[in-house]
Amino acid sequence: MRALLKRILKSDRTRHILCWTVHVYIRLVFATGRWTVEGAEIPRRFRAEGKPFILAFWHGRLLMIPMAWQNLAPMHMLISSHRDGRIIAEAVTYFGIHSVAGSSTKGGLAALRQMMKHLKEGDCVGITPDGPHGPAMRASEGIAATARVSGAPVIPITYATTRRRILGTWDCFHLPWPFSRGVFLWGEPIEVPRDADAAMLESSRALIEARMNALTAEAERRMGHGDPSEARIPPVDAVAGPAGR
């Protein structure tokens, strides 16, 4: 699989086709599903006031985030320069989302500078705090440090669907199927004081992680599934969805 992916990325034409296909699939899943959104007034309020924020979502829940965003504001997503990150970066451009090469841990200084620039200009940035290699659903310190330096709050978001497959990848990637019911949940903003010391920074990191996990667990519960942390070990095929839905 890795060898195939390397060959794909060597061909610009093949990579463009793959990224276009990914973006079409995202639109298909959204168009054929029955989606509900809760908490969207939170980011809208910030944007109405002209305030930037940091959008936080788990790596395994990345696929449908562009449909929740819906061009709410200029967005710059922190995406790994790794080969799979390149595919994601190009796919999200179809939704008007820009990318910042790097991660919250590796190449962090250059990426942090770019994100600070975008936030200062009033744009928003998106971060997967467990990327690019995990552990899954464990936030790194990078997102809390970004919030501290920028003064921008962290607003978590997640989604779940009734029909999906949980892939056997490190992030337990949530692959939704078309014709599903789905829910997007936005969380309350989390602010990190600019004068936060090491202990407070760790406390903020743990709070972000806990809030994101609680939000994801609630989304899973609403779609009839169990605790998502239980899906980290075996891949789960849930094509039929709970109770035959």
Q: For the segment 199-240, what is each residue's pLDDT rounded down to a tens digit?
A: 999 999 999 999 999 999 999 999 999 876 654 433 334 444
> What tokens appear for 224 in the block?
């009839």
The percent of residues above 70 in pLDDT, for the chain, comes to: 83
With bands split at pLDDT 50, 70 and 90, how would you rate the model's confidence at 85? Answer: low
The pLDDT of 39-56, averaged and rounded, is 94
79 or 51: whose pLDDT is higher? Answer: 51
Residue-averaged pLDDT of the chain: 86
pLDDT at res. 241: 46
CA–CA distance, 8 with 115 (Å, rounded to integer): 29
pLDDT at res. 81: 59
CA–CA distance, 176 with 166 (Å, rounded to integer): 9
The pLDDT of 32-59, averaged and rounded, is 95
Of 28-42, 98-112, 152-166, 178-192, the least confident: 98-112
Q: What is the pLDDT of residues 91-141, one digit of tens each?
A: 888 999 988 877 555 556 788 889 999 999 999 999 999 978 889 999 999
End-to-end CA distance of the chain: give it in Å, rounded: 32
> What tokens appear for 131 in the block?
């990327």
Q: Is the pLDDT of residue 90 over 80?
A: yes
pLDDT at res. 244: 37
CA–CA distance, 204 with 146 (Å, rounded to integer): 11
> What tokens appear for 34 in the block?
């029955």
DSSP 8-state assignment for residue 187: P
With bands split at pLDDT 50, 70 and 90, how would you rate the model's confidence at 4? Answer: low
Q: Which residue's structure tokens are 């609403």? A: 222
DSSP one-letter string for 80-140:
-SSHHHHHHHHHHGGGTEEEEES-SSTTHHHHHHHHHHHHHTT-EEEE-TTTTT--TT---
Cβ contact 80:132 at 8 Å: yes
Q: Is the pLDDT of residue 8 over 80?
A: no
Q: What is the CATH number of domain 2-244?
A: 3.40.1130
CA–CA distance, 3 with 213 (Å, rounded to integer): 33
CA–CA distance, 223 with 163 (Å, rounded to integer): 9
Q: Is the pLDDT of residue 3 over 70?
A: no
The percent of residues above 90 in pLDDT, for the chain, comes to: 64
Q: In what order do the strands lie in the sheet with 181-186?
A: 34-38, 181-186, 154-161, 54-56, 124-127, 75-79, 97-101
Of 20-24, 35-39, 103-107, 192-196, the least confident: 103-107
CA dihedral 38, 58, 74, 108 (to 10 degrees): 150
Indicate the pTM of the whole model. 0.86
